[in-house]
Structure 1
Amino acid sequence: MCSKEELPKNLSDASSIPKQEIQEQPGVQHEMKPQPLVHHLPTDDEHIEEYKASGKLKSKIAIITGGDSGIGRSVAALFALESCEGIAIVYLSREEKDAQETKRRIEKQSSTKVELICKDIGCEENAIEVIDTVVKKWGRIDVLVNNASEQHLGENIQDLSAEQLDRTFKSNLYAMIFLSKHAIKHMKKGSTIINTSSVTAYKGHPMLIDYSITKAGIVGFTRSLSLQLICKGIRVNAVAPGPIWTPLIKASFAPEMMEEFGKDVPFGRAGQPSEVAPCYVFLASNDSSYMSGQVLHRVSRIMRCDEQIMRIISHRIILDTLVLHPNGGTVING
């Protein structure tokens, strides 16, 4: 939720990423230039407009890990606009300023109440405390968004230490397993779990081996947990974003790499958190009531079409989400 003075004038301004100093992990949003779009979306003429809500999440209680910034902040903002009753944001101590700002803006612009919980949920005891705090305050959990993660660049697998591997796995995989395990006890039929994977789960990345492994693991976790919980009426899905301008990027890539970030996709630019967050609204709402075990691919890609069949719409179609699978929870590839 950007204030007027922070809001870029158009998509071009929002997508122009200058060189800037790399941050310490996990990265903080208030130091980013330009500020990521939180609840504004691009228009057809490349201007930006505010997200239009319709009460899709009325009275729901949600937990969002990493909800202080980046995709998580945008998800929290849109959930609030969609009339969530309460949102618990889980974050690390370095992210305190971002978390406080997210809470301030959400509660100023909506009736949603925000509970800030500063915990390292790679530890199961801390994950249990998060769930206990939310249940004590609101009595239930309707939506769990497992979004927090970290990544560390490395050019050679020989340099991948056991310490870094352990840290990445705890942040990206263990945390969502622990939270899901204990949240399920307080979730009823119609509740949803949404996990953040990544395009790297499918295409890999030569400098993000441990990160890519965890993101692929999240796909497997999503599909398997979906099959286990579908009899309880709890849906489990995931989102696999492409290059999105978030604090994780500023905390990972060298200054000269940031200028080129996102330019290798067909759209020719990095995406904004606000362009990914509607996927989470969709998966948290009844709009996706016949979907479980699926992954939404929020990334610019190109599908080439047969000229004879698709001549009328040109030879290339640019897609955000390649395929949606409203198939009643049948797990399939892709």
Structure 2
Amino acid sequence: MDQALSQIVERIRAAAADATPLRIRGGGTKDFHGEVLQGEILDTTALAGITSYEPSELVVTVRAGTPLAELEAALAEKGQCLPFEPQHFESGGTVGGMVAAGLSGPARASVGAVRDYVLGATLVNGRAEVLTFGGQVMKNVAGYDVSRVLAGSLGTLGVIAEVSLKVLPVAPAEATLAFACSQADALRLLNEWGGRPLPLNASCWVEQAGVGTLYLRLRGAVAAVEAACTHLGGERQDNASAALHWQLLRDQQHPWFAGDVGSMALWRLSVPQTALVLAIDGTAPLVEWHGAQRWYKAPPEDAVRIRGIAHAAGGHATLFRMPASHTTDAAVPRFDAMSAPVARIHRALMQEFDPQRIFNRGRLLAAE
């Protein structure tokens, strides 16, 4: 065990002995995500470095404090990538934060989420034990796959020390098409195209200055992408401009997200791709993931109404970002209520991995 990991283990052991809450933190780029932040900061950035990378095996093992940008640069040198396009939001994000947050970018609906690419992990639990789960190949995920459970756990099960990730080659061809259409037409088209053998990778419908536009990104073999462009039509975008568009979208720096929205919060609705236009007042939404992820701006106080609409469509709603004017937000839960069986599973896992509840207390379940 190296010095950086030893220091973290000793810090956890001392915190467990006197039940001192710890707030696990890498780059801090996702501090806004989750219910509440509390506890002494436990910095993971010393756990840095790529420990193993086998491009021919499409596997990389990396320590949790490694800057995400550093990992992506190393993969790019070999013509490979993290296909789910992890969200950066700002510079400084780490690999551990990427897994703990479990947030994926524009390609998620086509290629899968963060958890689908986690092959194994090393974790320090609330008893200061160093545990290893999974491995470096897909066949090692038999049984209860703890390494993937870490994705989206927001640090409530322990300190992620290292992860093994599946990577993929960068697609040989890419094109972005734009179509002027309403939100209803965009949803109809996306559902129609989803039933065809097209190299769909990402989509985004957004309304600007009263005009709705559907952007469709195609990725795959050169012949497949070119044939799809010819078949679908639309206005083909310049590759460099399109790449910037998708990057801004990934990190919520697109103009739709920018600007002072006053008392409006950012709501994320996860619904079936086939859901129709949702009757939520205010600014027209930004629609991603072929209709499955929809962003809205609405006051936090509209939580009951917004969540009711999401439930009626077969999904759920997350209060993703609070407006800057709100200094306290405990009255409005960030996450939608879990069903009783799911909540029991969450609490049982937390009890097993962190019996003293020292890690990120209240971050995932506010009522702790």
TM-score in terms of structure 1 length: 0.27
More strand by share: 2
Structure (1 or 2) with the larger CA radius of gyration: 2
TM-score in terms of structure 2 length: 0.25
